[in-house]
Amino acid sequence: MTGTCEDCAYNVYDDEMDEYVCEAYLDEDEFYRLMQTGKSCPYYRSGDDYELVRHQN
Average pLDDT over the chain, rounded to an integer = 79
pLDDT at 30: 85
Going by pLDDT thresholds of 50, 70 and 90, the confidence category of residue 1 is very low
pLDDT at 55: 59
Residue type for position 55: H
Evaluate whether 2 touches 45 at the Cβ level (below 8 Å). Answer: no
CA angle at 13 for the pair 28 and 44, rounded to the nearest 5°:
55
Going by pLDDT thresholds of 50, 70 and 90, the confidence category of residue 49 is low
More confidently predicted of 42 and 53: 42
Per-residue pLDDT tens for 6-31?
888 888 999 999 999 888 888 889 88
